Amino acid sequence: MHRFRMGFGAAAAMLAVTIVPATAQQPTALIGVLECTGGRSAGYLVGSVTELNCMLTRNGRRVEPYVAQVRRIGFDVGFTDRWMMAWEVYGPTPRVPPGGTSGGYGGAGASATVGVGAALNQLIGGPGGSLSLIPLGVNGQRGVNLAFGFEGMEIRPARY
């Protein structure tokens, strides 16, 4: 029961992040492309957690490593062996300091996989809810899985 409360609390927090005040400047400037890959993940009917390694590429050359954790709350059954996801990162300005895309993101997502499958999710968050992650096409995964619901993703700089 404690895990359910923690998961529900995390989902509520991520949902709150997606509600951007009307006075906030809308993210219209391209910051870069965030590409993430991850390993195994299992869905437990009401949710899942997946660890990802990410790279943010700016202007096609400057690369920043990140790690991310994706938490899905909703219907999620099956397992995935491999995740591959990419988003364009938009903000109010293209100038964001190193590590400036760190933070919590939230939004809706869906995926279906039998062998090789597809996933789609658009997320809003980051510092002050000022960034948007727009999927680059349809993201992919490998395994047997059906999932849809709210997704929260925490991104932080990688420490090597």
Res. 13: pLDDT tops 70: no
Res. 35: pLDDT tops 70: yes
Res. 1: pLDDT tops 60: no
Query: Does residue 51 or residue 102 have the better pLDDT?
Result: 102
CB contact set of 137 (below 8 Å; sequence gap of 6+): 86
Q: What are the tokens at 133?
A: 């992650």
**For the whole model, what pTM was predicted?**
0.73
Domain spans, the chain: 2-157
Query: Phi-psi bin for 16: left (phi > 0), alpha (psi -120 to 50), beta?
Result: alpha
Minimum mean pLDDT among 9-18, 19-28, 54-63, 130-139: which range?
9-18
- How high is the mean pLDDT of the chain? 76
64: amino acid identity, one letter: E
Q: What are the tokens at 125?
A: 């968050």
pLDDT digit string (tens) for 84-137? 888 999 999 988 898 999 999 999 887 777 766 667 778 899 998 999 998 887
78: amino acid identity, one letter: G
